[in-house]
Amino acid sequence: MGKRELYHDPETDFYVLAHVQEGGKTGKPHSHGTSWAIYGNARQLTEMTEWRRVNPVSEAHAELVATAKYAIGSGQTHGYGLDVMHSTCHPKKAWVIRVMGTDLDKLPRHHFRKQEKILEKV
């Protein structure tokens, strides 16, 4: 399980990753910061939810509302622009390809902790 780097273009800095996601896994809302991302499913599906913050950024807690829900099935893709908050759900084991504009570990991004309604910068 987990992810594997399939390709990295050092000139443009984009990455292609392969993921095998366990069934029954639901991710928390997050962004990819200042990078774009494209998700594609090779097998099974990924249920996606897009989120929007509805309270001021100056407040410590974050109130998010779902703005879109859809599934990405086998052979389908969906792109996400900069700072788009989204979450994933895999009802069954899924094989996912993700293409990103850079190494996300180098970027400030946000993850949402539902229990405290806090957007964490990671």
Identify the CATH number of the domain in which residue 35 sits: 2.60.120.10
- Distance, in Å, from the CA atom of 63 to the CA atom of 53, rounded to the nearest integer, reads 6
Domain count for the chain: 1
pTM of structure: 0.83
Whether the predicted pLDDT of 108 surpasses 70: no
Residue 7 lies in a domain: yes
Tens digits of per-residue pLDDT, 38-97? Answer: 999 999 999 999 999 888 888 877 888 899 999 999 999 999 998 888 999 999 999 999
Q: What is the pLDDT of residue 1?
A: 57
**Domain membership flag for residue 40:** yes
Per residue in 14-35, pLDDT (tens digit) is: 999 999 999 998 988 888 888 9
> Which domain, by its residues, includes 104?
2-108
- 119 lies in a domain? no
Assigned domain for 11 exists: yes
Does residue 72 fall inside a structural domain? yes
For residue 122, the model assigns a pLDDT of 44
pLDDT at position 120 over 60: no
pLDDT at 91: 96
